[in-house]
Each structure stands twice: as C-alpha cells, then as structure tokens.
Amino acid sequence: MANLEVNFCGVKFKNPTVLASGVLGVTAASLRNVVKNGAGGVTTKSIWLEEHKGHKNPVMFGTEHYFMNAVGLSDAGFEKAEKETFPDYMKNKPAPIIANIVAYKLADFGILAEKIDKLNPDIIEVNISCPNVEDEFGKPFACSVVDASKVTKAVRAMTKKPVIIKLSPNVLNIGEIAKGCANEGANGFTAINTVGPGMAIDIDLRMPILTNRVGGVSGPAIKPIAVKCVYDVYKATHLPIIGTGGILTGLDAIEIMMAGARLVGMGTMVYYREVSGFGKVVEEMADWCDKNGVKNLEEIIGCVK
Amino acid sequence: MKNLDTKPVALSIKKIIKENDATNTYVFEYKLESRPGQFVMMWIPGVDEKPFSISYDNGEEFWLTVCKVGPATEELFKLKVGDKVGIRGPFGKNYEFKKGEHLALVAGGYGVGPMFFVANEAMRQGCKVEFIIGARTKNLLLFTHKILGLKDVNLHVSTDDGSMGVKGYNTQILEEILAKNKIKHVFACGPERMEKRVGEISEKYKVDCQMAVEKYMKCGFGVCGQCAVDDTGECVCKKGTVMNWSYLKKLSEFGMYHRDAQGKKHYF
C-alpha cells in the first residue's frame, strides 16, 4: 500500500487529511474524535484573545451543491485554549494540532501568537480571511498585500513555530498576497477560506436565511476555485500549502495535491459524509495511489505544470 | 444524510394550544415524517433559531411543545396563528422499540412533549405504556388530559410538593414500576440529573434505558461541533439526541455541565 505520510513544515502527518478550522473542534474531545475517525491532523476553531460571540442562528445550512455558514467565529477566548483545549489534547496527543488564531487588530495578532506559542501547537495558522465578520471588522486583512504582510510580520516576530497564513479566494491576486506573506517569513499557507460572502434568501419569508444576511460559501461548488487558488499560490511561492475548499473524496484530495497542496483540509466534507468521511477519504487516496503506481505522495504534489 | 437540503422550510402556525402559563404547543400542517425522539430547528424569523423536540406527528401535522425559557422563546410566544416560522429537520435519532412491548416513559417538566409522541406511536404499535410525569407543582404538569385520552397508557404523576399525585419524584414511581412489572424499555426526557437517576434505576433492574439529551446546538446536523460531549467528542445531534444509558453513563459531562454558544462550560 502507498505511503500516505507527509512532512509539512517539519511536522510529520500520518496522512494528508486535516480537519479545517471552524468545523467541529469546539473541544479537545471533539478534535480527538476527528483523529479517531481517520484524520492525519486537526485545526482548532479560530482562537481569539478574549471571548467572542458569534452570530445568532441560523448560522449554516447545506444543499446538494454548496454549503453556507456565518457562525461568526464564536469562541470562549484564549483562556479556554490555555486551560482546557490544549492541556486536554496534549495528554497522549493523537495527531499534530494546528492552532488557528484570529484578531481584528494588528497588535492583537502579535500578542496572541506569543501566547499561543507557549501552548506548543505544531503549527500556527493565521486566519486573516473570514468573510462573515465584515460588518464587525471591515474587509479581511487577506484582501490586501500590505495588510496580509503586516499580520504575517507581527506573528512571525513572536514565534519560531511554523506560521501558515489562511488566504482568501475573494481577491484578484492571491499569488501576490502569498508572496507578500512569504517575504515576511510565512512558512506556508492554507488556501482557501470560504468564498464570497454569498447570500441566500428564503422567498416565503422574504429574508436572508442566515441571520448575518451573508455567509461564506463552501462545499463541492467551490472546489474549482480552491484548486486554482492553490495552483496560483504554489506557483508564486513553492511553500507548503494546506489545500482546502470543496474536498469530499480521495480523488478530490489527489486533485488539489496535484495543484500544489501538501496537506488537504476538510470541513464541509463532514456535512456530506459525516465525521467518518476522513477515514474513507484516506482509503480512497490509498486506493488511487495503488492503482496508479504512486508509492509516495511527493510524486504528485504540485505535479501539474 | 438522506436529504442534503437543509434550508429551512417556511411554515404557517396552524394552531396554538396553551398548555400552561409558560408552555404552548404549536401545530403545523406538514408531512415532516419524523420519529419519536427526533427534533427540528425552528427559526423565529429575525430573532433566532433553536432546537425543539417533536411532541406529535401523525404524518399530516406535527406539534412542537415549547416552554418560555429565554429571549428566543419569549419572541416565539408573540407569534399568532398564520404567522410563519422556518423549520429544518427532522434531525437526530429516535427511541427504539418493537410492537407489543411494555414501556415505561419518564418525563420531567417539558420533557413530556417527546414522551407524548412516543406514547402515541407505542399505542399504534400495540404496546402497553406506563407514563410517568413529574413536576415541581401541579400547575407545571403538562399533557395530563391528553395522556389520559390514550388507550393502554397508564398515567402516573408526581409533584415535589404533593399538590397532585405522589409527593416526591417521578424516579421513585419508576422504581416501584420496575420492581413490580417486566418492563422492556425505559425511555426518559428531562433534566440531566433526573435522567442520571433514571439510568441508575434502570440499570439496577437490568432494563434497557434510552434518554434524550439537551445540549446547545447551532447546526443540528453534526458540523458545528457545539454539542460535542466529553469525553467521546461525538455530537449529540448525530449520536442522539436519544442515547442509551450504557453510553451516557460513560460521559464525564453527563449530569455535570453543559456548554454555551462559545463553548464555555457551565456546571449544573
């Protein structure tokens, strides 16, 4: 059987699937359950310095083709990560953990990075691209080369751990933005965050379904956008990438790896295939590799020119 | 998931039945095709959306029995017949039993809703039912007349203050029933600490015990992770809300604490 082990920024993953930030992952037990179901690694929900209320329900729904959410980054704040989530997860750590951090002020990213570093996550993922808090905080940092680079610099200054930046697809120049972050010391990227924001209206009630009115679009419909963004970022930087966006099957995973992804993030997949989908995706990847004579995933990462 | 579309369906309130000062039953004409123990997410437009267990479903209409407990239900109580809400679901697992079995149902407070749905279904399946309801006082007891109207269902009542039925807890009645009868399943719905006691008593008498558990929920379909329980990390909306006592008793948080919308613990 093919070896699905992947090295990402010096961290060894037993397979390339990781839980994307924002799905499950409210507690350490939930993260452990995702690993138990086959994931090679997990990403926490976005951690804020202080407690942050999300939006009111409805915050998500799905259709056959796409999924929408505007949870609004609800979180109990750093204190819970420090006192509960990390200590619980680190006891017999089952797989690498990526700490996802978020802030609305540049200075807070630095403060948070310094604190998170001490909890000893394997990787720090910086969320500068959530599309459903724009009413609160304006356009995401990921929409400008200057802002994205500044955040990267602030985080880089506070930690020696691998820092990866979660990029937005909702830009015209994702490659340029990635380059800007790379110049400030980013070790890699997660591409992409959700698309949009989009809007869905209940025509009987004549109002948007999501309380936030708009929300990030994910699911099968966005896969081509994710694959293209990963391709652009890989071409621009050749740094390690977690490819995420509409990945539901092992074949989807292989596809985004060919575009340049080294790990494959999955979140909305849980809606379509339940949490046990992680193990199924891994099996499907192994099957494909075996049938196609691929012995090591290094052979396919970024193989598409 | 059978149906991948989880957009809300807008439904008009067909009827509102006032159960007591703080509890209403909302009736909707819709083929929900739910099973006893399942729940829906009800969206009160412009306000919020919360999970509610189904208290009746005959294939043509379904009921949601709602207690006024917070800002969202406060707003719901202002709605009138003809007003529209959004419904997503049904979600979750149901109580499991077979034709002709002898069941004991234990309901605490507004937990009587889903138990009423079970009793109706059980009646159709030729089951014999011991229906035990409990509340702090007489005025808080729900559905007594509706339950008395069911064939092959024996109603047992307890109140903390003795204003109706046995003075004490519904779990005491359960123990007496289990001691005297050969019960096949115990089903419960109510506060976690009541449920814990129900589980212990059922175990003592070696009777299968299934209980619905209430946790903070956002999506209802196992994605947001808000209702993941310690220490298994499984989502109550998927694994349950009806779960076996053999599973529940292993949960470190059962009967101890719950989490809020930000994932912070609150002890009971």
Q: What is the distance between the alpha carbons of residues B163 and B217, in angstroms, rounded to a whole number?
A: 35
The model's confidence at residue B60, banded by pLDDT at 50, 70 and 90, is: very high
Reported as a single tens digit per residue, the pLDDT across A86-126 is 999 999 999 999 999 999 999 999 999 999 999 999 999 99
Q: Is the pLDDT of residue B32 over 80?
A: yes
Sign for the pseudo-dihedral over CA of A290, A38, A42, A82 = negative
Domains of chain A, residue spans: 6-299
The model scores a pTM over 0.90? yes
Sign for the pseudo-dihedral over CA of B11, B13, B17, B22 = positive
| Cβ within 8 Å of residue A39, ≥6 positions away | A15, A17, A18, A19, A95, A266, A278
Q: Is A84 on the interface with B (CB under 8 A)?
A: yes
Q: What is the distance between the alpha carbons of residues A196 and A70, in angstroms, rounded to a whole number?
A: 11
**Average pLDDT over every residue of A276-290:** 98
DSSP string, B89-157: EEESB-----TT-EEEEEEEGGGHHHHHHHHHHHHHTT-EEEEEEEESSGGG--SHHHHHTSTTEEEEE
Please give the DSSP secondary-structure letter assigned to residue B263.
-
Across the interface, of A24, A62, A274, the residue whose CB is closest to B4 is A62
Contacts of A60 in chain B (CB under 8 A): 218-219, 223-224
How many beta-carbon pairs under 8 angstroms link A with B? Answer: 132
**Average pLDDT over every residue of B16-44:** 97
Q: What is the distance between the alpha carbons of residues B96 and B73, in angstroms, rounded to a whole number?
A: 30
Q: How does the average pLDDT of chain B come out, rounded? A: 96
| Cβ within 8 Å of residue B139, ≥6 positions away | B20, B21, B163
B interface with A, Cβ–Cβ below 8 Å: 1, 4-8, 10, 41, 43, 45-50, 84, 86, 88, 218-219, 221-226, 228-235, 238, 259, 261-265
**Average pLDDT over every residue of A205-218:** 97
Q: What is the distance between the alpha carbons of residues A41 and A23, in angstroms, rounded to a whole number?
A: 13
Reported as a single tens digit per residue, the pLDDT across B70-126 is 999 999 999 999 999 999 999 999 999 999 999 999 999 889 999 999 999 999 999
Q: What is the 3-state secondary structure (H, E, C) of A39-58?
A: CCEEECCCECCCCECCCCCC
Percentage of chain A beyond pLDDT 70 is 100
Reported as a single tens digit per residue, the pLDDT across A236-264 is 999 999 999 999 999 999 999 999 999 99
Read off the tokens for B219: 């999506």
**Structural domains of chain B sorted by starting position, each given as residue range(s) with its CATH number in brackets:** 9-91 (2.40.30.10), 102-267 (3.40.50.80)
> What residues does B167 pair with on adjacent strands?
B159
Question: In CATH terms, is domain A6-299 a member of 3.30.70.2860?
Answer: no
Q: Is the pLDDT of residue B2 over 70?
A: no
Reported as a single tens digit per residue, the pLDDT across B156-185 is 999 999 999 999 999 999 999 999 999 999
Distances (CA, A) of B53 to A229, B56, B109: 43, 9, 13
